[in-house]
Structure 1
Amino acid sequence: MTASDVLRLNDLGLEAPARLLGGFGLNLVRVAAGEAIPGSYWGDCEAGVIGACVYARDDTPVHSLLHEACHLIVLPPERRAAVHTDATDSIEEEDAACYLQIVLAERLAGVGSDRLMRDMDTWGYSFRLGSTRAWFEQDADNARDWLVQRGLLTEATALTA
């Protein structure tokens, strides 16, 4: 699989991801083809964040859309409102966003955690055990615990919202 094979927003449409993000008080804003994505840290087709909005184009990878949304989800509302482009410099919040995006992928038909983890590996996410799956299954207890402590997950890794 190559980076061109990862799932993109145009593979899902806007409705299901917008509904998922809306459940967390976020707005998904579609950006026109060829336009720069507001609030994108990495540029190109990567999703962007400003306040409670996640910006994406049809060519935005689903993993990027979920990852940036998860950065906002893990923040308390008072911090979320101040976000523009760079959501955090916290390793704990970064790990929590990575973990949560895998869990949220199960809520999107045609995605699921297996596909999302493969796409994350293809795109170049880097984990010390060598793959997203190995990290998620063997090395992400700190991220899961962080999410449980903040009421975003249950001990059984179920979403609370």
Structure 2
Amino acid sequence: MNDPMPASHVTCVGDIAFADAACLLSAHGLQLHHVAAGESIPGSYWGEPEAGIIASNVYVRDDTPVHSMLHEACHLIVLPPERRAQVHTDATDSVPEEDATCYLQIVLAGQLPGVGSDRLMADMDAWGYTYRLGSTRAWFEQDAEDAKAWLIERGLPVA
């Protein structure tokens, strides 16, 4: 993918086509909601501008990082429907689910026009995600076998 944005810029929802993001999440049974600038984001665990989740709904503003939107959406995607329906703000405290969520957000970024997996991993590093091998890419390529296996066991996408 050609990346017209400087490396220091983290890709935000306002940088991509909202309809593309909504379509991607819809394919996984989620509804994406646009929150107006300056409004509070419902269900945001970390606070603005981070994405929020409530049941099968993902809430974002234009200044929400795409990695946050995908991360929170993937928290919902990895849950069985009965658990998803109970989520409000905080999806899990499970390390395997967190790892699967991180892996899946990278995979789904590859399906999102204007983003791509490479850009998302760079944004994750810039935002402060930390992995024992030093970068998101190193984790994804060399240390995420357990996360990938977790997703495969549940019939979730890994490529």
Q: TM-score, normalised by structure 1?
A: 0.93
Shift of 1:113: 0.5
Q: Does 1:141 align with 2:145?
A: yes
Question: Which of 121, 126, 132 is the equivalent residue of 1:128?
Answer: 132
Shift of 1:13: 2.4
Distance, in Å, in 1 between the alignment partners of 2:133 and 2:56 is 33
Alignment match, 1:82 = 86
Alignment match, 1:115 = 119
Letter in 2 for 1:62: V
Shift of 1:109: 1.1
Question: Which of 15, 28, 31 is the equivalent residue of 2:35?
Answer: 31
Q: Does 1:71 align with 2:75?
A: yes
Alignment match, 1:57 = 61
Give aligned pairs, total.
Answer: 153
1:21-63 C-alpha deviation (Å, 9 max, x unpaired): 0001100011110111000000020000000000000110000
Alignment match, 2:108 = 104
Query: Unaligned stretches of 5+ in structure 2?
Result: 1-6
Distance, in Å, in 1 between the alignment partners of 2:95 and 2:114 is 30
Distance, in Å, in 2 between the alignment partners of 1:10 and 1:50 is 21
Letter in 1 for 2:149: D
2:43 aligns to what SS in structure 1? coil
Query: Unaligned stretches of 5+ in structure 1?
Result: none
1:136-155 C-alpha deviation (Å, 9 max, x unpaired): 000000000000000003xx
CA RMSD of aligned residues (A): 0.7
Distance, in Å, in 1 between the alignment partners of 2:49 and 2:142 is 31
**Taking every aligned residue pair, what percent have the same amino acid on both sides?**
69
2:79 aligns to what SS in structure 1? coil
4+ residue segments displaced more than 3 Å = none
